[in-house]
Chain A
Amino acid sequence: MKIVFTTKGEIWESPMDPRFARAEMFLVYDEEADKLTIIDNSATESMEHGVGGQSSKKMITAGANVVITGNGAGEKALKILKTTGIEFYTGAGEMSVKEAYEAYKQNRLQKQF
């Protein structure tokens, strides 16, 4: 299972970024390999439009099964991701990555789709 977190840092203690498409970075946790990898997302900062699509593509390319974020996916991201089988969980925007993972495991996050 690959779980993607929207974050403001590269480690488990980092704060989550409540935004999905414009998150500073994505942290991918591969549960089987017990390994964290980083997907840079800084380019979205200078993009005016269309980040929803670009970030959604990153989720698909990364092979994500679950995405954990704060506010959830926007309209354009929804259009793409809803058909992929990727699950979206929201409400983790104010947590650390570690807390967000625990909250997900304990079913304390809202499922967007």
Chain B
Amino acid sequence: MTALLEVKDLKVRVEEREILHGLTLTVNPGEVHAIMGPNGSGKSTLSHVIAGKPGYEVTDGQILFRGEDLLEMDPDERAAKGVFLAFQYPVEIPGVTTWNFLHTALNAQRKARGESPLTSPEFLKKVRAVAKSLNIPQDMLKRGVNVGFSGGEKKRNEILQMALFEPAVCILDEMDSGLDIDALRVAADGVNALRSPERAMVVITHYQRLLNYIVPDFVHVMSKGRVVKSGGKDLALELEASGYAQFEDAA
């Protein structure tokens, strides 16, 4: 069986400084992986490199998506293939309505996959159904992308996109940052509703708290640009009790 996402011995540099020193991770369909680690361990770098953000130099290793070389693809190609990054800090785009943005993005992905574009009524129907299931009010769709949204609304907007684009692998970068406990629960419920045997998730988080709501199959601890320990969901609880200090020394 081909893995959905394989990161092999990945080394990444940003402006002459190596951030990832040989990271390996294999994600199969249906699995939820949590990546934990202290600030500066390279968690967000990993998510950015998978999504194709400019400014990172891969010096060694590879990332395969269904056996294809992901690093050879532009960010939009990766999105069309089914790679989705939920941003830690979703950007605000004044002047572009959420509505128009979602329609344009969905049709761009469909076009890249050789599918016919959705007409406005077809799109309307789809987005309404998805928004309803996530408790997102219609007027949020009429506003500029993320403009004036609360932290919780921004994260819900990310999950709305995830539900709409139906990606194969979702990378959730610090989804819990800036959320209070109620907003966190709403966001996590949205993510859980999208779990399926075909879809994989990589949940990047600093705190164990999120993993009470999104229960992972595997937990990896990152420190100083490497995975230093992997285990089951209990590893997260262990970390909560003992902290990251032990791994910082080990790495």
Query: Real complex partners, A and B?
Result: no
Interface residues of A (CB under 8 A from B): none
